[in-house]
Structure 1
Amino acid sequence: MAPQRQLHLNAFIMPNGHHEAAWRHHSTDPVRARTLQHYVDIARTAERGRLDSVFLADVVGLGDNVRHNSHSGFEPLTLLSALAASTEHIGLIATASTTYNHPYTLARAFASLDHLSGGRAGWNIVTSSSAIEAGNFGIERPDHARRYERAEEFLEVVAALWDSFGDDAIVADTTSGVYADTDRIAPIDHHGEFFDVAGPLNVPRPVQGYPLLVQAGSSEAGKAYAARYAEAVFTAQQTLQDGIDFSDDLTRRLPRHGRSRDELLVLPGISPIIGSTQEEAQRLEAEINAGIVPAYGLAQLSSMLDVELTEEHLDAPLPHVEHITQGNQSRFTLVTELARREELTVRQLIERLAGGRGHRVLAGTPEQIADDLETWFTKGAADGFNIMPPTYPQSLEVFVDTVVPILQERGLFRREYTGTTLREHYGLARPQAGHIGSTSTTSTSTTSAPTSSSTSTTKEHAA
């Protein structure tokens, strides 16, 4: 009998939690959330629960709404490098933008993290959509399509740099005095529309071949990018059918890139509010919602929808808003459809978004939460979940201590780690060199040498 397919769990770390009022809740400590020990404790809790990974989002700019919301702004790769030394098994996924980085710098940083963690690094690839970020780099915000065009070439250059150092290039032969077989190290000589990069990388090929590649956009361009490159997708759907439709959509796109469904994991976000009874869970939800600052919610919603909302709109339906072209298109669609479908006022919509920014908020008992996750998993809407605790560290501790054991008892989740790398946690193969893009070096096995041919990126745009 074939082993039962198991779901995957990632803990999405925010300083005090995912609810916008988390920093005001009695269970959190906004001051401690600026210390390394706070994040070490979170990562160790996730590892105690045998979760696949922890994940840090990133925005390279200070939002306008910091007056009413906690903020740390720690650079993810720096923080995850510290967590690598404090944990043994948990995967470490960092967000890094293709819009405001350079391929060589990022390839080197992720290769370093992968080696220093023993093969536990993952890269959440984002294209950065905010004007605030663009201003910090002295450029105008690139349009949506242009950001994804740059992201395609960016990833292919990064992969080529990882591949430029053959897996067995380091021989360290003390007898002969040969440290590296230079026949297995070669420049990439990339010349493309956005980048000119000579290479090779000055760090050996990552332990995992490539760090796990994660993507979080659900627009048409985002889904096309995910189908071509991503190995895990963090996404947001409000209904089971929407989750099934999203998963099916990605599945249909994979064959055009020579990929199969088992090469891509879909992990929708959920924010669990857990009580010993349904009534207690609802009381806890109301308790944390009481900390919402309407001005903050209005500002967040205005930014999300690219429209000016004021206190006059709070108790009225969401006004008509034009479809955005430059921001987060998938989140715009999700939020406006939620407001229309459930006939929410702006105040009610702010409350619905406060806990997960468009991701589902589940208030219930551990059994009810486990039932919901099992349903989405078995119905094909998810391969696992991006867990977004409303408060840190308490909500993650409750999830690990109450929901995870139920999933384990049902045979849906591991009781022990069986591998050492993040790819092994997710059941994904180690890619051979040349796996990504026409600009990659083209060795056909992990023991062959990279080749050094001058290349330029050939883009393949999916509809």
Structure 2
Amino acid sequence: MTAPTPKQMHLAAHFPGVNNTTVWADPRSRSQIDFSSFEHLARTAERGRFDFFFLAEGLRLREHNGRIHDLDVVGRPESLTVLSALAAVTERLGLAATVNTTFNEPYELARRLATLDHLSDGRAAWNVVTSSDAFTGENFRRGGYLDRADLPQVLGSARTGGTPYTRAAEFVATARELWDTWTPDGTPRPFRHQGQHFTIEGEFTVPRSPQGHPVVIQAGDSPEGREFAASAADVIFTRHGTLEAGRTFYTDVKARLAKYGRQPDDLKIMPGVTFVLGDSDAEAQESAAEIRRRQISPQNAILALEQVWGRDLSSYDPDGPLPEIDPDPDSGLVQGRVRNGDPLAVAARWRALSEAKRLSIRQTVIEATGRQSFIGSPETVASELIEFVSTDAADGFILVPHLTPSGLDDFVDRVVPLLQERGAFRSEYTGSTLRSHLGLVDPVGKD
């Protein structure tokens, strides 16, 4: 009997930029500013027939205990400018930019995204994020920030029973209104939008782009973030550490779609994951352990601890136990970085982990901050990826390499051919737009 064809997976490449994922001490690491680095990773992803290339965003250099964070000293370029340049050296690869709704305006950003969609012949995507950070807001004319009630994590919709639009929800809806003012046959129509956050009217200057609407991505695991993704996103960028957690998340998010008149395939769930390859599983495990040690140096372990505790812990020994003092939730020690969850709750989890396994500060940080990883031989990694997708734990993955920009090379050369041989991933692009790669319905029903 012929084995059934596996469910098709989607793949994207995340350019690491400034973070603790990249092993900067590795001699193969290069600049995250030089265009050649972006081009290398993008060309590799396209050679692997990936769906899209994904850029994060940083709007201010982060500070730690009053000093510029070490990883930020070389800065971060503006995403849409980089992707516009990449449009000229790629042909089919989707181009996804993280752009903040708090410090932009719908008309201006809708024009930039529509322009990228034209320049790339229909490959643009927008990862929607916001900020409640007054520190970042000081870089902008308003100089302020939004209350957490207006963040996308609490996004509402008129269809959810009267919950008011937040700025981010209204921002996305307004951008779509602007894109729709040009008909598919090229006829412009005036627009007028009056809402809680935006009152604008006029004529949109960019004709309807190849995709109609650029693909919308949203990152968020909270219940409110899941609701926003179900109501308005095409892709949700998430993280979950186990196969079972992935299945639970997948089931929950897909079940939310029906009340918005959407089908399960209208939203793709793509967790961000790392990978480490070796000629054998044992070799890969050994390499992965060394990579984690190099990512979390003794100094970085203390910095990571301070980000949770909100206290100056420079006197602590990275090879010693966790602090007995509790975190300071209202500390201003770290500026420009979003805390992931309640510091007290995070500290409690770290303490439980440390006590159960008798881990030092550095060992605890290494284990507690690791992103979901696929570690093993190419055959093992390919099989695990297929299992995640075929058992509805994900629709695909956003790969975060530990080297910039060559970290994707081995995956494309050694894992992608196995996925293709097993029928789990495309051998060639069958369409020209990002929507076609992702199997998403065109917003105006065009072929």
TM-score (norm 1): 0.82
Measure the CA separation in 2 of the matches of 1:406 and 1:417.
17
Shift of 1:410: 1.1
Q: Does the residue aligned with 2:138 lie in a helix, a strand or coil?
A: helix
Partner of 2:173: 156
Is 1:350 aligned with 2:365? Answer: yes
- Structure 1 segment 311-350 matched on structure 2, within 5 A: 311=314, 312=316, 314=318, 315-317=320-322, 327=338, 339=350, 342-343=353-354, 345-350=360-365
Equivalent position of 2:246 in the other structure: 243
Say which SS state the counterpart of residue 11 (structure 1) adopts: strand
Q: Is the 8 A contact 1:298 1:309 kept in 2?
A: no
Q: Structure 1's 431 and 335: CA in aligned 2 closer, same or farther, altered over 3 A? A: farther
SS at match of 2:151: helix
- Contact 2:53–2:93 (Cα < 8 Å) also in 1: yes
Secondary structure in 2 matching 1:24: coil
Mapped partners of 2:105, 2:423: distance in 1: 43
| Change in 2 beyond 3 A, CA 1:36/1:212 | same
Unaligned runs of 5+ in 1: 170-183, 433-444, 447-463
Q: Which residue pairs with 1:79 in the alignment?
A: 82
Whole-Å separation in 1 of the counterparts to 2:406 and 2:25: 14
| Counterpart residue number, 1:91 | 94
Q: Secondary structure at the match of 2:135?
A: helix
Quote the offset at 1:350 in angstroms. 2.3
* 2:22–2:401 CA contact under 8 A, matched in 1: no
Q: 1:104 aligns with which of 99, 107, 116?
A: 107
Letter in 1 for 2:436: E
Cross-structure match for 2:334: none
**Change beyond 3 A, Cα 1:273–1:337:** farther
- Taking only aligned residues, the RMSD between alpha carbons, in angstroms, comes to 2.8
How has the CA–CA distance of structure 1 residues 358 and 196 changed in structure 2, closer, same or farther, with 3 Å as cutoff? farther
How far, CA to CA, are the matches of 1:60 and 1:88 in structure 2? 29
Pairing 1:8–2:10 present: yes
Identify if the C-alpha distance between structure 1 residues 82 and 102 changes in structure 2 by more than 3 Å, giving closer, same or farther: same
Given the alignment of the two structures, is residue 24 of structure 1 paired with residue 36 of structure 2, yes or no? no
CA contact (8 A) 2:9 2:396 kept: yes
Paired position in structure 2 for 1:145: 149
Structure 2: which amino acid aligns with 1:374? I
Q: Distance in 2 between matches of 1:299 and 1:227?
A: 36
Whichever residue aligns with residue 26 of structure 2, its letter is H
Structure 2 SS opposite 1:270: strand
> Aligned with 1:372: secondary structure?
helix
- Equivalent pair of 2:102/2:131 in contact (CA under 8 Å): yes
Kindly provide the amino acid, as one letter, of the partner of residue 418 in structure 1.
Answer: T
Query: 2:45: which partner in 1?
Result: 46
The secondary structure found in structure 1 opposite 2:217 is strand
Map Cα deviations across residues 189-226 of structure 1 (whole Å, 9 max, x no partner). Answer: 11111111113210011210100110001122211111
C-alpha offsets along residues 434-461 of structure 1, whole Å, 9 cap, x if unaligned?
xxxxxxxxxxx77xxxxxxxxxxxxxxx
Is structure 2 residue 393 aligned with structure 1 residue 381? yes
Contact 1:268 1:386 in 2 (8 A): yes
Give how far 1:332 is off.
Answer: 7.0
Structure 1 letter corresponding to 2:110: A
Query: 1:68 Cα deviation (Å)?
Result: 3.1
Which one of 401, 405, 423 corresponds to residue 435 of structure 2? 423
What TM-score do the two structures reach when normalised by structure 2? 0.84
8 A contact 2:22–2:404 mirrored in 1: no
Q: Percent identity?
A: 38
**Cα-to-partner distance string for 1:12-36 (whole Å, 9 max, x where unaligned):** 01248x6545211122123xx3211
- SS of the residue corresponding to residue 198 of structure 1 reads strand
